[in-house]
Amino acid sequence: MSIRDVLSPFTAWKNLFRDPVTIADPLNERPGAARYRGFHKNDMDKCIGCGTCETICQNGAIDMLPVSGVPAKLGDSGLRPRIDYGRCCWCALCVDVCMTGSLTMSNEYKWVESNPDLFRFTPGVDKKHWDNAELGYQRHAEKHLTPGERVEMPELEPAARIGSFTEIVDGYSIEQAKLEADRCVSCGLCIATCPAHMAIPDYIKAVRDGDYERGVQLLYETNPFSQVCGRVCTHRCEDSCAARHEGDPIAIRWLKRHIIDQVPQEKVLELIGKPAAPTGKKVAIIGAGPAGLTAAFDLARKGHAVTVFEAQAAAGGMTRYGIPEYRLPYDALDKDIAVITAMGVDIQYNQRVGTDIAMQQLQSDYDAVMLAIGLHQGRSTRIPGSDHPQVRKAVDLLRQITTGEKIEAPKSMVVIGGGNVAMDIARSMARLQLQQHGEIRVTLTALEDKAHFLADPVEIKESLEEQINILDSRGPQACVIDDSGKLLGLKTWKVLSIFDAERRFAPQYDESDEQIHEGEMVVEAIGQMADVSLLGNELTEKLEWNRGRIQIDSNGRTSENWLWSAGDCVKGPDVINAVADGHRVAISIDSVFTQQEAKS
Amino acid sequence: MKEELLKRMVKGPDGVEFEVEPLRDYYCEAGPTVQTPAYTAIIEKLFNWARSESIWILGFGTGCGAIEMRPLMTPRFDAYRYGIQWRPTPRQANLFVISGYLSTKTLKRVIRSYEQMQSPKYVVGLGSCTINGGMYWDSYNTIKRLDDYLPVDLYIAGCMPRPEALLAGFEDLKKLIRAGKAEGANQYAENFEWYKANQKSVIHDWDMPDYNW
Amino acid sequence: MVMQALYDTLKPRFLLGEFTKQRDDLAFITVEAVRLHALLRHLRDQEGFTHLVLLTAVDWLEDGQFQLTYLLNNRAKRQDVGLRVLIARDNATMESIHDLWAAAATYQRELREMFGIDFPDSPRLHEDFILEGWQDIPPYRRDFDTLKYAQENYRDRPGRETRDPAQHMKQQLYGED
Amino acid sequence: MSEASIERLKSKTTLKDILEVATEFERTARDFYAALAPKVQKNLRYLVQELAEEEQRHYDLFTQMAERDDLEQQLQTEVERPVNDHKFSDCIHLPDLGEQPDDQAVLQYALKREHAAMEQYHSLAQSTEPGAIHDLFLYLANEETKHKNELEKVYYETVHSGGV
Amino acid sequence: MAYQPDRSQYPQKKADGTLDIDLASGKYLKLWQGPQHPGITGNMAIELTVCGDEVVEGKTHVGYLHRGFEKLMERRTFMQCFPIVCRICVPEPDFNEYCYAAAVEELAGLEVPELAHWIRTLILEMGRINSYLMYLGGQAGAFGQGVIGQWTTYVRDLMLDRFEELTGARIYHMFIIPGGVRDNLPEGFAARMETTLQEIESTLGDVERVMFHNAVFKKRAVGVGIIAPELLDSYGITGPNARAAGVAKDVRKDQPYLVYPELDFEAVTGKDSDIYTRADVRRRDLLLSIDLIRQILVKMPKSGAVMTKLPNVLHWKIPRGETYIRGECSRGEYGYYLVTDGSGYPRRVNVRGPSYTHSIALFERLVVNANISDVAALLVSLHTYPPEIER
Whether residue A449 is predicted with pLDDT greater than 60 in this model: the reply is: yes
Residues of C in contact with B137 (CB under 8 A): 150, 156
Answer whether A281-376+549-599 and A378-528 agree in fold: yes
pLDDT at A29 over 60: yes
Q: What is the 3-state secondary structure (H, E, C) of A525-586?
A: CCCEECCHHHHHHHHHHHCCEECCEECCCCCCECCCCCEEECCHHHHCCCHHHHHHHHHHHH
Band (A165; pLDDT cuts 50, 70, 90):
confident
Chain C nearest C-alpha distance from E246 (Å): 15
- Output the pTM of the full model: 0.85
Q: What mean pLDDT is predicted for residues D47-64?
A: 83
Interchain contact, A63 vs C161, CB within 8 Å: yes
Q: Is the pLDDT of residue E1 over 50?
A: no
Q: A378-528 — its CATH code?
A: 3.50.50.60
Asked whether the beta carbons of residue C132 and residue E322 sit closer than 8 angstroms, the reply is no
Question: What's the average model confidence in pLDDT over E229-257?
Answer: 91
Q: What is the mean pLDDT of residues B133-153?
A: 92
For position A143, what pLDDT does the model report?
64
The residue count for chain D: 164
Chain E environment of B60 (Cβ under 8 Å): 36-37
pLDDT value, residue C96: 92
User: What per-residue confidence (pLDDT) applies to A58?
Assistant: 92
Amino acid at D75: L
pLDDT over 60 (residue D89): no
Chain A environment of C176 (Cβ under 8 Å): 554
Contact criterion met (CB below 8 Å) for A232 and A328: yes
Residue C36 scores a pLDDT above 50:
yes
What residues of chain E lie within 8 A of the CB of B167, using their CB? none
B113 within some domain: yes
Q: Give the pLDDT score at E9.
A: 64
Say what the pLDDT of residue A247 is: 86
Of A64, A86, A584, the CB nearest to C163: A64
- Asked whether the beta carbons of residue C164 and residue A191 sit closer than 8 angstroms, the reply is no
Q: Is A111 on the interface with B (CB under 8 A)?
A: yes
Give CATH for domain C2-157. Answer: 3.30.460.80
Q: What is the pLDDT of residues A276-309, one digit of tens each?
A: 889 989 999 999 999 999 999 999 999 999 999 9
Contacts of C146 in chain B (CB under 8 A): 138-140
Bridge partners (DSSP) of residue E340 are: E321, E346
Give the per-residue pLDDT at C107.
Answer: 93
Task: Say whether A119 and B155 touch across the interface (CB within 8 A).
Answer: yes
Q: Verify D-C touch: 3 or more CB pairs within 8 A.
A: no
Best C168, C174, C176, C177 member to test A by mutation, with max A CBs in 10 Å, is C168
- Does residue B156 belong to the interface with chain A, where contact is any CB pair within 8 Å? yes
A12 interfacial to chain B (CB closer than 8 Å)? no
Question: What is the per-residue pLDDT for D25?
Answer: 78
Smallest Cα–Cα separation from E326: which of E111, E124, E62? E124
Q: Which residue has the higher pLDDT, A142 or C114?
A: C114
The DSSP element (H or E) to which A121 belongs, if any, is strand A120-121
Q: What is the structure's pLDDT at A166?
A: 86
Residue D32 has pLDDT above 90, yes or no: no
Asked, as a colleague might, if the bond just before A476 is cis with ω within 30 of 0, I would say no
Distance from CA of C130 to the nearest CA of E (A): 4
pLDDT (0 to 100) of residue D55: 84
Please state whether at least 3 CB pairs lie below 8 Å between chains C and E. yes
Asked if pLDDT for residue E162 goes beyond 90, the answer is: yes
Provide the residue range defining the domain that includes B191. 44-202
| Rounded-to-integer distance, Cα C154 and Cα B104, Å | 11
Region D47-60 average pLDDT: 84
Query: Are A499 and A406 spatial neighbours (Cβ–Cβ below 8 Å)?
Result: no
pLDDT in tens, A244-267: 887 889 999 999 999 998 999 889
Which sign, positive or negative, has the C-alpha torsion A336, A340, A341, A345?
A: negative
Choose from A256-260, A495-499, D73-77 the range with maximum mean pLDDT.
A256-260
Strands A563-565 and B17-20: unpaired
Q: Mean pLDDT of all residues in chain E?
A: 89
Q: How confident is the model at residue B209 (pLDDT cuts 50, 70, 90)?
A: confident
Q: Of A588, A523, A227, A579, whose CA–CA distance to A374 is shortest?
A: A579
Note whether B150 and B110 are within 8 A (CB): yes
Confidence of residue D2 (pLDDT cuts 50, 70, 90): very low
Question: Are A184 and E209 in contact (CB < 8 Å)?
Answer: no
Q: Which has the closest alpha carbon to A302: A265, A344, A245, A336?
A: A344
Top CATH class of A166-270 equals mainly alpha
Give pLDDT tens digits for B90-110.
899 999 999 889 999 999 999
Picking from E250, E283, E258, E289, the residue whose alpha carbon sits closest to that of residue E383 is: E283
- Band of residue D88 on the pLDDT scale cut at 50, 70, 90: low
Tally of CB atoms within 10 A around E261: 9
Residue B185 pLDDT greater than 80, yes or no:
yes
Range with lowest mean pLDDT among A4-8, D39-43, E252-256: D39-43
Number of domains in chain B: 1
Sorted by sequence, the CB contacts under 8 Å of residue D122 that are 6+ apart come out as D137, D141
> Across the interface, do A192 and C170 touch by the CB < 8 Å criterion?
yes
- Domains, chain D: 3-159 (1.20.1260.10)
Q: CA-CA distance, B12 to B25, in Å (whole number)?
A: 16
State the average pLDDT over residues E89-112. Answer: 92
Q: How far apart are alpha carbons B203 and A306 in whole angstroms?
A: 69
Task: Provide the percentage of residues in chain A whose pLDDT is more than 90.
Answer: 43
Q: Is residue B32 part of a domain?
A: no
Question: Per-residue DSSP letters for C112-175?
Answer: HHHH--B-TT-TTTTS--S-SS--SS-TTSTT--HHHHHHHHS-PPS------HHHHHHHHHST
Where in chain A are the domains? 21-145, 166-270, 281-376+549-599, 378-528
- Asked whether the predicted pLDDT for residue B25 surpasses 80, the reply is no
Collapsed DSSP state (helix, strand, coil) of residue A325: coil
Per-residue model confidence (pLDDT) at position D1: 41
pLDDT of residue D95: 60
Subunits next to B (3 or more Cβ pairs <8 Å) are: A, C, E
Q: Which of E214, E305, E309 sits opposite A147 (nearest CB)?
A: E309
Residue type at position E106: E
Average pLDDT for chain D: 73
Output the CA angle B147-B151-B152, nearest 5 degrees: 75
Nearest-by-CA chain A residue for E182: A140
CATH number at residue B114: 3.40.50.12280
Interface chains of chain C (3 or more CB pairs under 8 Å): A, B, E
Contact B168, A110 (CB under 8 A): yes
Task: Tell whether domain A281-376+549-599 is in CATH 3.30.230.10.
Answer: no
**Where are chain C's structural domains?**
2-157
- Percent with pLDDT over 70 in chain A: 99
At D163 the pLDDT is 47
pLDDT given at position D164: 41
pLDDT recorded at residue A93? 92
CATH class of E91-352: mainly alpha
Going by pLDDT thresholds of 50, 70 and 90, the confidence category of residue D81 is low
Whether residue A385 is predicted with pLDDT greater than 70 in this model: the reply is: yes
Q: Which residue of D has its CA nearest to A424?
A: D164
Distance (Å, whole) CA E210 – CA E202: 12
* Whether residue B164 has pLDDT greater than 90: yes
- CATH class of the domain defined by A21-145: alpha beta
pLDDT in tens, E112-144: 999 999 999 999 999 999 999 999 998 998 888
Going C134 to C135 to C141 to C145, the CA torsion angle's sign is: negative
Give me the pLDDT at residue D110, please. 80
B2 to chain C, closest Cα gap in Å: 11
pLDDT at C72: 93
Does residue D75 register a pLDDT over 70? no
Residue E300 near chain C (CB below 8 Å) = no
- Helix-strand-coil percent breakdown of chain D, rounded to 5? 75, 0, 20
Structure ipTM: 0.83
Radius of gyration for the alpha carbons in chain A, expressed in angstroms and rounded: 31
Q: B171 contacts in A (CB within 8 Å)? A: 27
Whether residue B190 is contained in a domain is answered as yes
State the pLDDT at residue A146: 84
Which tens digit of pLDDT belongs to each residue from E36-95?
Answer: 765 566 788 888 988 888 888 888 998 898 999 999 999 999 999 999 999 998 888 999
